[in-house]
Homo-oligomer: A and B are copies of this chain.
Amino acid sequence: MTESGSVRYIGIVGPGQDVSPALLAQAHQVGRLVAARGAVVLTGGLGGVMEAASRGAFEAGGTTVGLLPGSDRSAANLYLTVALPTGLGEMRNALLVRSCDAVIAVGCSWGTLSEIALAVRTGVPVVTIECWDLPEDGPVRVADAVAAVKAVLGGE
């Protein structure tokens, strides 16, 4: 029996394509570190940063959830404990942010920006690695995966 209340859920968001190897490595490390802390990883379930983060967590024995935009579960990457085809399109970005205790953005794109903005708007803590310039009252910029995980899950 688990105590659901004590498990943390961390959204890891970022571009699904055209991601540099360096950013993919960051995403992989974020996933691994979040899983190592016992938190569940939520992503959009597709490729790029989503896949790298899921893989990092999955390989570390963590639980990974993918909230897919489409209605076809087979679009999911291969590193998900649970793959949910929401059929919501980009509305699933809002569902993802709502389901998380905190969000880590790795890289940026317009879809990623929508998630960052929704997180700030709704009071979900959000940190960014290599994202676009945004106003000061928005997400907290961090240097890398280690700093990101420390920022959302506390020091260790």
B-facing mask of A12-25, CB < 8 A → 1, else 0?
00000000000000
In Å, the complex CA distance between A120 and B71 comes to 17
A73 CB contact (under 8 Å) in B9, B94, B114: B9
Integer count of this chain's copies in the complex:
4
Interface size on A, residues (CB 8 A): 50
In Å, the complex CA distance between A79 and B94 comes to 26
Q: Are B118 and A40 in contact (CB under 8 A)?
A: no
Interface of A is mostly: mixed
Instruction: Decide yes or no whether A61 CB sits under 8 A from chain B.
Output: no
In Å, the complex CA distance between A94 and B93 comes to 9
In the assembled complex, the CB of A127 is this many whole angstroms from the nearest CB of chain B, namely 15
A residues in contact (CB < 8 Å) with B: 1-5, 7, 9, 40, 58, 63, 65, 71, 73-74, 76-91, 93-95, 98-99, 109-111, 113-114, 117-118, 120-122, 132-135, 138
